[in-house]
Structure formats: structure tokens, C-alpha cells
């Protein structure tokens, strides 16, 4: 199911120092944004710790974690951490898991021969643990013996998955309560990914989170273009959006029209006024989406 009025979020990119997270989370909440997304990139901020900081600093904001690398984390520990935050901040935490960047997983000795098999086993066990079930399983990668959380979430926690290839996207649709897409993607690429996800899910009613690298003000397009090589993409008009509130709102609507239910504004690494950008998105761009 597509919507011209998606939820609007902000990415706290892990190139920012962790000590900025509290104040920026409060700024995002005050600006009226719906969500704040933290990452777990090696070897920057830890995802669960970052989510806890953002949740503790705010009262309304939904905090998403995209994505925890399955090879890096024991599934029982991940379930314990998710359940703890879900009980402390009910209805405000959206955890996500994925393959992890394979080079980084190799650096920590966690790279596996079949990331797809690992994510299937991991997501299945994690879902059952979060649902309060006792889990015994002997898989290729995930092995648990009568593991049951003492403090499972009091309400069902949506579990997002993430990936980029066709098989991974289909798996996200099949097993996830939602999918977080890689960044950066063009609108057409988001649409193609959404189709694969929904085929895996067997329904159009599957939440999809897409990022949109965004800049405004003097030099905005140059900053967007300079950002793309960091993501191993060539600069082009189809990637990211630079411009005024109307231009940015139009780009967000375009991403929503092809399947994204949440659009996460991702600042460039060299954003000169992040607080100002957050205020601009919340007070100038978001009202245009509702209008």
C-alpha cells in the first residue's frame, strides 16, 4: 500500500559524534518529525546504546535502529536488548536487523558463507523470542537451547529487516514486519525494491523505510554530488534532493508514491547547520506533505 503522506524521519548519521545525539533528538521532536533513525555501522556508535540515548532524551519521537548486523550479535542478546527498550519505552522503538557490511563482518571474524541463511535463522528466532516463546533451535548458524526471555515486550514489537539483493528483499518481505532499504537509492530503485519486498510478503501492506539524502541552501546540489562517491555511487539528478521546501516535499512524495511508507531525511556529511536543517524539514517541508 503506497501513500502520498509518508511518515517523516531523520537519520542520525554515525559520522556525527555520539555526544550530539541527545540534543539533535530533542530538536527533531520539537520540529514535529515522526521518527529518528540511528545506525550500527562498524566501528562507530553502537546501535542499541544510541537508540537508548535518543529514547531517553525524548517523549514522543519513535526511534528506529537500522540495522543491527546479524553476524555481529548473538540473537539472545539482541532479543534481551530490544525487549528492555521496548518495555521501558513502549510503542516507540523500531528495531531492525540485516546482513551487515560483509567486509566489516570479515574484520571482526563474523563473516558467514551464507548471509541469507543466517538472516532467515536469526529473524525467525528473534521474532519468537520477542513474542515470549521458549526457543530451541539447531541451525547452520543460530543455535539455542530452551531460551526464553524473563522480560519479553508487553506489546508486539515490529521487527524490521534489511537487505539489497532480490533474495534478501524477498526474505525481508516474508519474515519482516517492515523493511529498511539501503541508501542512497533513486526513486525508480525504491520502486523496484518495493515490488520485490511485497512479492515476498504476499501483500502490498508492508511498511518500507527509505532514506533520502537531502540538502538545502547555498551549495546544496554540490554537497549532494560530493556525498555520492562516499556511497560508491556517481552523482546524478536521480540520487538525493537539493532545493527549497517545495522541491524536497515533491521528492518525498515521489518516493512515497512508489512504496515507501517512511522517508528518512539523511543529511550530507558536511551539512553546515544540522539543527537548522531539522527545523526546516519539520516546519517548512512537513506541512507541505499534509497539504
pLDDT of residue 1: 40
pLDDT tens for each residue of 145-195: 999 999 999 999 999 999 999 999 999 999 999 999 999 999 999 999 999
Per-domain residue ranges for the chain? Answer: 7-160+208-255+263-290
Residue-level pLDDT at 236: 87
CATH fold for the domain made of 7-160+208-255+263-290? TIM Barrel (3.20.20)
pLDDT band at 5 (very low <50, low <70, confident <90, very high): confident
User: H/E element holding 225?
Assistant: helix 220-227
What is the predicted pLDDT for the residue at 4? 53
Handedness of CA 112, 114, 115, 118 (dihedral sign): negative
- Note the pLDDT tens digit of each residue in 9-20: 999 999 999 999
Residue 179 confidence (pLDDT)? 98
How far is Cα 261 from Cα 35, in angstroms, rounded to an integer? 12
What confidence tens digit (pLDDT) does each residue in 251-269 have? Answer: 999 999 999 999 999 999 9
Considering the entire predicted model, what is its pTM? 0.96
Instruction: Please answer whether residues 6 and 256 qualify as being in contact, where contact means their C-beta atoms are separated by less than 8 angstroms.
Output: yes
Amino acid at each position: 500500500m503506497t501513500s502520498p503522506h509518508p511518515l517523516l524521519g531523520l537519520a542520525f548519521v554515525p559520522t556525527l559524534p555520539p555526544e550530539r545525539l541527545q540534543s539533535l533528538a530533542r530538536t527533531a521532536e520539537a520540529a514535529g518529525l515522526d521518527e529518528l533513525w540511528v545506525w550500527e555501522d562498524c566501528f562507530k556508535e553502537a546501535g542499541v546504546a544510541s537508540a537508548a540515548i535518543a529514547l531517553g532524551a525524548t517523549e514522543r519521537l519513535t526511534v528506529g535502529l537500522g540495522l543491527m548486523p546479524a553476524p555481529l550479535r548473538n540473537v539472545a542478546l539482541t532479543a534481551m536488548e530490544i525487549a528492555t527498550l521496548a518495555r521501558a519505552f513502549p510503542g516507540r522503538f523500531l528495531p531492525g536487523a540485516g546482513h551487515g557490511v560483509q567486509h566489516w563482518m570479515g574484520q571482526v571474524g563474523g563473516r558467514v558463507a551464507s548471509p541469507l541463511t543466517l538472516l532467515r535463522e536469526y529473524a525467525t528466532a528473534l521474532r519468537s523470542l520477542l513474542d515470549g516463546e521458549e526457543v530451541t533451535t539447531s541451525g547452520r548458524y543460530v543455535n539455542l537451547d530452551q531460551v526464553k526471555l524473563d522480560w519479553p515486550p508487553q506489546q508486539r514489537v515490529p521487527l524490521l529487516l534489511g537487505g539489497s539483493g532480490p533474495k534478501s528483499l524477498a526474505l525481508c518481505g516474508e519474515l519482516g514486519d517492515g523493511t529498511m532499504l539501503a541508501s542512497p537509492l533513486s526513486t525508480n530503485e525504491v520502486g523496484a525494491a518495493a515490488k520485490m519486498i511485497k512479492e515476498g510478503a504476499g501483500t502490498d501492506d508492508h511498511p518500507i523505510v527509505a532514506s533520502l539524502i537531502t540538502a538545502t541552501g547555498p551549495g546544496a546540489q554540490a554537497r549532494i554530488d560530493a556525498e555520492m562517491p562516499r556511497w560508491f555511487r556517481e552523482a546524478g539528478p536521480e540520487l538525493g534532493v537539493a532545493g527549497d521546501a517545495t522541491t524536497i516535499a515533491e521528492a518525498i512524495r515521489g518516493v512515497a508514491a512508489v512504496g515507501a511508507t517512511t522517508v528518512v531525511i539523511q543529511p550530507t556529511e558536511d551539512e553546515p547547520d544540522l539543527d537548522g536543517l531539522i527545523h526546516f524539514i519539520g516546519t517548512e517541508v512537513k506541512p507541505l506533505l499534509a497539504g
